[in-house]
Amino acid sequence: MPYFESPVDGARLHFVDYGPAAGQVVVFVNSAYFGTEMWEYQMLPLAEAGYRCVGFDRRGHGRSDDAWGGFDLDSLADDVDGLLRHLDLREVTLVGHSVGTAEVVRCLTRHGVERVARVALVAGMAPGPARSADHPAGVDPALIEAGNETFRRDRAAFFAEGARAFFALDLPGNDLSEAYVQSMVDRCHGATARAGTALSDLVVTLNVAPELAKLDLPVLVVHGTHDASAPLDLTGRRAAQLLPDSTLKVYENAGHGLFATHAEQLTDDLREFMARG
């Protein structure tokens, strides 16, 4: 299996590289808990259509090394940049989901945009859901911390009981098999307890709002109306307003897991976004 070494501490991070080597490059940055398998409904069709689709398992996730350190946003962003440099990728479309969107933003503001042509923020936590001095309408940090404590006490229950809200399964159009949902719950355990708790703690203070305003490249923002993890008005819509060059697409009834419930729509929107030149 292919690996690259983290520029932060040498941790071995597993990556996948699908499609033709000469294809237009799309790099996927995962949500917390998941590895690259979360993108199967985007990576496989796009690779078959001639795109080069690259993704990696974050430290402490999937097939990458278990690690204690490196879960601050700068280090996570350095790992993303490390992948781009390891494969010498250019003219990249950088796609992030959930907390992965913050890693994408920090990667660009920390390392520059010379390798990246455009960005897609999918069900993003960016710019940050918590209340802060510049975001008084945000969620009380104490509520996020309480959820994090529930996670620490019983990760298994947290994943199992949160699946319906994650995929908004009680709303029309979000039709997933019980087998698929269970498989994704199981895959959440591919992240170590350390990795999961560290990323949960990161969300409490996450604030990349000033960085979004500095991104001088096209950005597609995709968000669901019923995203319980990253409420639309606090994250996706706010991100689109902060970005200099953004396109906001709102999916009716979609939750945080729209990469599965709205798989074809998301894949089509990514393809359309990349075709703009």
- Helix ranges restricted to H, the chain: 40-48, 73-86, 99-111, 141-153, 155-167, 178-188, 193-204, 209-212, 236-242, 258-261, 263-274
| Beta pairing class for 116-122 and 219-224 | parallel
Three-state DSSP state, 160: helix
- Give the CA dihedral 13, 16, 20, 26, nearest 10 degrees: -80
Residues involved in catalysis: 98, 227, 256
φ/ψ of 135, rounded to 5, equals: -145, 65
Beta bridge partners of 54: 17, 27
Instruction: Report residue 170 as tokens.
Output: 């009680």
Hey, which residues does 92 pair with through a beta bridge? 116
CA distances to 149, 150, 193, 251, 259 from 145, rounded to whole Å, are 6, 9, 16, 28, 26
HSE-CB at 59 with a 13 A cutoff on CA atoms is 29
Nearest to 217 by CA among 116, 99, 86: 116
Which of 267, 261, 233 minimizes the C-alpha distance to 172? 261
